[in-house]
Structure 1
Amino acid sequence: MQPAGNFFAYPPASELIRLGDGERPRFWVTIDTEEDFDWDAPFARTGFALGSIPALADCQAYFERAAVRPIYLVDWPVVADDRAVDILRPACAAGRCEIGAQLHPWVTPPHDEEVNARNSYTGNLPVALQRAKMTVLRDAIGDRFGVAPTVYRAGRYGLGRESAAMLAALGFRCDTSVRSGFDYRAGHGPDYRAAPLHPWWVQTEAGPVLEMPVTTVFDGLLGRAGRALYHRVARSGSRAGAALARLGLVERIALTPEGIPADRAVRAIDIAIDARLPVLNFSFHSPSLQPGNTPYVRTAADLDHFYRWWDTVLDHLARRGVESTTGAEIMAMAERKAAD
């Protein structure tokens, strides 16, 4: 039996947070706001860049025009960059965005661990070191952005068994690290294949933490059975999963502009609405806001396509009556339902 009080002890279906009769889902835009680095290179404490930071201004302006309040999950190098503070702190103070925390352990002090793939998942580090890194990041965000962050995402989705209790003790009220439908064990990371898509409360001695999973759905001719088949076949690599999608049998669709065509994202939105998810959780990495940093945005044309993706997706959400929400509003919704 899994120990209670951690993000991997998934609750029974009866304890998941669901929409009530007559309620409409909302959507949330979460941005992994981080340094630029080579995703194919070994992890390193130094050698990263921050060239994409100015592009945060264009991103924020785009979402303001769309009446969307994104949450920037900032990591240590971003917190230390004055340009990021100048762009995001006024927007946050004016209520046009939110600021949360994202922990990349390899660039976050204290630097007491060996830098390697296994240790790139915070949950694999000694508990005291995890807590120290979380504390340093939380305090720096408070000092630099003028807010106490209450939303957390583990870099690389790297939660550990002790993460919930530590987050609660440090004042975090919501986690959004669980990427349902993904398995990171091959790289020493967590296994989220069986994770729910609906949010749920994780009870700890330090208080409750709301888990708000990143949204990924499955589509295809095989229906519900397709998810299990996908995980069995995808062990052979991403090409095996792509073959299933080409055959129309099963397709895994994440709500992200990174690698997911707009028409598939629209299909995923409809699936999520049919599943009555209370929140559709979109995500992407801030280095994709500048060409050349990620596999998804290599050219200026790719960047234009990135924003056109959002045009298509936001138009479809509006047609379906799905409005934007924030971390604060999600917490208020979950607390109301807990009190019912």
Structure 2
Amino acid sequence: MALRSLLDPPPSHALARFSDRKTRYLLTVDTEEEFDWDKPLRREGYGLDHIPRLARFQQFCEGMGVVPIYLVDWPIATSSLAGEILREPIAAGRAEVGVQLHPWVSPPFTEEVSETNSFAGNLPHVLEAEKFARLRDRIETQFGAAPLIYRAGRYGLGPRTAEILQANGIAIDSSVRSKFDYSASGGPDYRRHPLGPYWLDEDRTMLELPLTTTFWGLLRELGDAIYPRLWRMPQARGVLSHLGLLERIPLTPEGVGVEEAMRGIDMALDAQLPVLVFSFHSPSLAPGHTPYVRTEGDLDRLYDWWRRIFAYCALRDVKPSSVADVLAAVER
């Protein structure tokens, strides 16, 4: 089975469709250690203080009828408390588990810790594969379920990542962050990748579910051409957004207001996307660990963001989904 590189935009015939024609959304949680986002990465010195907060978030999602997908990295996969909290909901189908590889905290530790090496796809193939395999096996042991979905930490796919996923039984990748470019830091450029799901092989055994980001505003049709030219001019981006001319909206509560996110949902539906992929980082479930949640008030607002977004999705007839649901419904 020939796999396309995850770094390359797919041909048009690879776009995926769903037999029931429903529009779905996934709630993905980058479930990871706490670290200072403003300082260089380190193997040591991270925290796990927010892990008890996973229980509240899981209960919240169950009350809203949503199945969260926890994309787990090594520090979480080796936390007995995380296993205690999530193992039963995962076994019951009220949550799902996937893989998220932060190479700087995932053994074996043979590479230098650097910004370039923080994108796992930049590592030598053998090392990327070994880190992934150890993490995948640890997740299955800790949480009692074989993970079927992957997201590279920092969205750091590489030219041979698809081979590694195939060898480890992964059916879905969700690392592509369309309309974002990380090449200035040594990472991938996803500006030309589509927003909708697509197949990574001709046999249709591995699916890409890009994180959902849309352009909104009078100039949205020109967003792919205009926005990349403004990456060094945040003030210009702010002016365009304020004037209602052009705004890039990723579907996340981190740095995106609820009204903005609703506009992003509208644009995604106008584009007839069959699957919307929401995301955020688990350390935001406790104050003080990310730039987005500094106080308990910020945390209350995060939960309110999700309540309002779930309600808006219901209003727009966008149904909560899961990995199992996607794999059952996608046309092969």
TM-score range (shorter-chain normalised) is: over 0.9
- Which residue matches 2:39? 41
- Which residue matches 1:226? 223
- Which residue matches 2:11? 12
Instruction: Tell me, in whole angstroms, the C-alpha distance in 2 between the residues paired with 1:24 and 1:171.
Output: 27
Instruction: Tell me, in whole angstroms, the C-alpha distance in 2 between the residues paired with 1:100 and 1:42.
Output: 26
Instruction: Tell me, in whole angstroms, the C-alpha distance in 2 between the residues paired with 1:84 and 1:237.
Output: 41
Instruction: Tell me, in whole angstroms, the C-alpha distance in 2 between the residues paired with 1:220 and 1:228.
Output: 14
Contact 1:164 1:204 in 2 (8 A): no
Query: Which of 110, 120, 123 is residue 122 of structure 1 equivalent to?
Result: 120
Question: 1:19: Cα distance to partner?
Answer: 5.4
Distance 1:114 1:204, change over 3 A: farther
- Which residue matches 1:326? 322
Instruction: Give the partner amino acid of 2:268.
Output: A
Which consecutive segments of 4 or more residues in structure 1 shift more than 4 A? Answer: none
CA deviation map 1:89-123 (0-9, x unaligned): 01101111001010000000000000011100000
Q: State the identity %.
A: 50
Contact 2:199 2:207 in 1 (8 A): yes
Unaligned runs of 5+ in 1: none
Question: 1:305: Cα distance to partner?
Answer: 0.4
Contact 1:142 1:148 in 2 (8 A): yes
- Which residue matches 2:163? 165
1:54-133 mapped onto 2 (5 Å cutoff): 54-133=52-131
Instruction: Give the partner amino acid of 1:68.
Output: V
Contact 1:227 1:250 in 2 (8 A): no
Question: 1:34: Cα distance to partner?
Answer: 0.3
Contact 2:97 2:147 in 1 (8 A): yes
Q: What's the TM-score, normalizing by structure 2?
A: 0.96
Query: Which of 134, 151, 158 is residue 153 of structure 1 equivalent to?
Result: 151
Q: What's the TM-score, normalizing by structure 1?
A: 0.94
Instruction: Tell me, in whole angstroms, the C-alpha distance in 1 between the residues paired with 2:289 and 2:130.
Output: 29
1:239 aligns with 2:238: no
User: Secondary structure in 1 aligned to 2:206?
Assistant: strand
User: Secondary structure in 2 aligned to 1:226?
Assistant: helix
1:212 aligns with 2:218: no
Contact 1:71 1:100 in 2 (8 A): yes
Query: Which of 183, 193, 196 is residue 195 of structure 1 equivalent to?
Result: 193
User: Secondary structure in 1 aligned to 2:60?
Assistant: helix
Query: Which of 282, 285, 291 is residue 286 of structure 1 equivalent to?
Result: 282
Contact 2:18 2:329 in 1 (8 A): no
Instruction: Tell me, in whole angstroms, the C-alpha distance in 2 between the residues paired with 1:43 and 1:238.
Output: 25
Contact 2:7 2:188 in 1 (8 A): no
Query: Which of 25, 28, 42 is residue 26 of structure 2 equivalent to?
Result: 28
Contact 1:45 1:107 in 2 (8 A): yes
Question: 1:4: Cα distance to partner?
Answer: 6.2
Question: 1:288: Cα distance to partner?
Answer: 0.2
Instruction: Tell me, in whole angstroms, the C-alpha distance in 1 between the residues paired with 2:87 and 2:3.
Output: 37
Query: Which of 258, 261, 264 is residue 257 of structure 2 equivalent to?
Result: 261
Instruction: Give the partner amino acid of 2:42.
Output: A
Instruction: Give the partner amino acid of 1:113.
Output: E
Instruction: Give the partner amino acid of 2:247.
Output: E
Query: How many residue pairs end up in the alignment?
Result: 331
Distance 1:120 1:322, change over 3 A: same
Contact 1:19 1:277 in 2 (8 A): no
Instruction: Tell me, in whole angstroms, the C-alpha distance in 1 between the residues paired with 2:257 and 2:174.
Output: 23
Instruction: Give the partner amino acid of 2:135.
Output: L
Deviates more, 1:208-217 or 1:26-35: 208-217
Instruction: Give the partner amino acid of 2:251.
Output: L
CA deviation map 1:115-148 (0-9, x unaligned): 0111000000000000000000011011111111
User: Secondary structure in 2 aligned to 1:323?
Assistant: strand
Query: Which of 239, 246, 250 is residue 250 of structure 1 equivalent to?
Result: 246
Question: 1:328: Cα distance to partner?
Answer: 1.5
The root-mean-square deviation of aligned C-alpha atoms, in Å, is 1.6
Contact 1:226 1:249 in 2 (8 A): no
Instruction: Give the partner amino acid of 2:126.
Output: A
- Which residue matches 2:178? 180
CA deviation map 1:233-266 (0-9, x unaligned): 22x1433322321222210000000000000101
Instruction: Give the partner amino acid of 1:287.
Output: P
CA deviation map 1:164-211 (0-9, x unaligned): 111101111110000001001111111011110111111289x83211
- Which residue matches 1:307? 303
Unaligned runs of 5+ in 2: none
CA deviation map 1:253-297 (0-9, x unaligned): 000000000001011111111111111100000000000000000
Instruction: Tell me, in whole angstroms, the C-alpha distance in 2 between the residues paired with 1:274 and 1:332.
Output: 25
Distance 1:163 1:237, change over 3 A: farther
